[in-house]
Chains A and B, each alone.
Chain A
Amino acid sequence: MIDITQPIYVLTIAAFVFGLIRMGNPATARSGILWAGIAMAFSIGATFFVPGISNLILIFPAILIGAVIGYVAARKVAIVDMPQMVAIYNGMGAGAASTIAAIELIKVGNSSFNIIVALVGAIIGNVSIAGSTIAFLKLQGWMRQKPITFFLQQVLNIVVMAVGILFGVLFLVHSSAIVSYRSSLIPFFALTIAYGFLMALPIGGADMPVLISLYNAMTGIAVGLEGFAISNYAMVVAGILVGAAGTILTVAMASAMNRSVGAILAGGFGKPQEENRAISGNLKPISSEDVAIMLAYSSTVAIVPGFGMASAQAQFKVRDLTDMLISKGIKVFFAIHPVAGRMPGHMNVLLAEAGVPYDLLMDREEANRAFQDVDVSLVIGANDVVNPAARIQGTPLYGMPILDVDKSKNVIVLKRGSGKGFAGIENDLFYMEKTKMLYGDAQESISKLIQELKKL
């Protein structure tokens, strides 16, 4: 019988690459995932034709359980909760790679080379599943989002990982120095998983998207290595492909947020950074009534959304406000900073969910050309991405591309309180003469604005 699985695996890899290329362009992105999906279905189907497969009575129910839970959970989750779903499904993939490692390692008679590959893959997979779980819990709000740090944390982490690896080595060399060499696998798995939990603790919720991307790359590598261990070429190539693509993506995401991957992994984000700049002026509060009047007499209004809009779930109200202003003959556009919010493209996704027409959205360059003609800029919970301090050498934000909101004639900042932004530094924009502060939850503030506008 001809083995049909290999040709199908080859075509699958081709379709994965093609799908990824298409996913890299907004116009073709949706067909990209379809290509990858069809290829995946074929390669899974082909796997049942591999000679000698048994236990079908277990395989089918397992697939059914995973498929039902996976489908229902992914369908029901709200769009804003997508990052943690990516985290948990990524963790599942990593866990699956580790189970393959476990089964391979239990088998007697593997070559040392195979054992090393399976062990390394298991370490990466274990760190990824544990870390992804923490990322999921933090983003879901089931765990404190703030960085969790304690005395000698780094030392403990290194010791846990080192002892975990030691048990892996004992297994490899068939040494029963501590426990019988086969039982070494239990502390090996337990400690490397524990390291994964510990490693993610000091990383704040705001940095989670970068961390998830890193775990995604790690899962890819773990899958690739386990593919190596069981000589499955499709797993090797797809896994390494994701590992490479995921690594680039992680670096790109971190740099778009003006952070380095190393600094994120070191953790402790949110520590106030040293800042000795004196800012002149003061914060000037304004009532929603006055804002409504300002808006009503404007000819051009720019809306600058940020994380505050996402956390207050204010995108639907923002859309209502936009419709209202447009019906009054006012020109409205949205100035979208690529990393406004907590993940790249966050604002685009939320505004699309609320049904804001795409042609109202301007990217950074386009918006910056338009700000000088704007009567009122409405900054909804954005902070660092509109901070002119980014233009001043020596500030922590220096060099980060920003939206030139300070060029518009008036600025209204909707903000929960007078605290500092994500980067922990003062925002010069808020202290400018033309800037007024509208304090409160973004959703409530905008509802009030709409009420006031109706009265006019």
Chain B
Amino acid sequence: MIITDWAWLYIILLAVFVGYEVISHVPVILHTPLMSGSNFIHGIVLVGAILALGYATNDVERVIGFVGVVMATLNVVGGYVVTERMLAMFKKKEGGK
């Protein structure tokens, strides 16, 4: 399935609106955890890093790709753990008021 160039613009436009809608009604106290959560979500770059290393054909590409996969994994794993720890602070809030 190949998406044409114009279809990309529709997709991007909708993604922008979804991103805007999701964030715009959030209470201030959740700004920091949410920043951390969205930091985790762009960890999807690991998918691209795996593909880049997976298709690498020479040593230069392999070295760069290896570094990329390490960095992307740090983003995914570190981003998840940090967000989880931050949000764990809010568990007392459930039923709080």
Contact = CB atoms under 8 A, between A and B. Distances in A.
B28 A236 contact: no
A227 B26 CA distance: 28
A37 B46 CA distance: 13
Interface residues of B, number: 83
Nearest to A34: B84
A412 B75 CA distance: 44
Contact of B47 (A30, A43, A56, A88): A43
A156 interface: no
B19 A245 contact: yes
B35 A240 contact: no
Contact of A348 (B29, B88, B91): B29
B74 to A, nearest CB: 4
Chain B interface SS verdict (over half): helix
Contacts of B76: 40, 44, 66, 70
B65 A89 contact: no
B93 A30 contact: no
A264 B17 CA distance: 26
A230 B52 CA distance: 9
Interface string A47-73: 110101111101100110111011101
B16 A106 contact: no
A235 B48 contact: yes
B96 to A, nearest CB: 4
A59 B22 contact: no
A27 B94 contact: yes
Contacts of B56: 55, 103
A54 B64 contact: no
Contacts of B40: 33, 36-37, 40
Interface of B: 1-3, 8, 11-12, 15-20, 22-56, 60-62, 64-94, 96-97
Given A240-B12, A249-B35, 15 more contacts: A27-B94, A33-B40, A40-B44, A70-B74, A74-B80, A93-B72, A103-B68, A106-B64, A236-B8, A238-B41, A242-B19, A344-B32, A352-B90, A357-B92, A358-B96
17 contacts: A30-B90, A32-B87, A53-B55, A55-B56, A79-B85, A85-B78, A96-B45, A99-B64, A103-B56, A213-B31, A232-B47, A239-B42, A241-B41, A252-B28, A345-B31, A348-B29, A358-B92
- A-B pairs, 4 with minimum CB distance: A66-B73, A244-B19, A99-B68, A70-B77
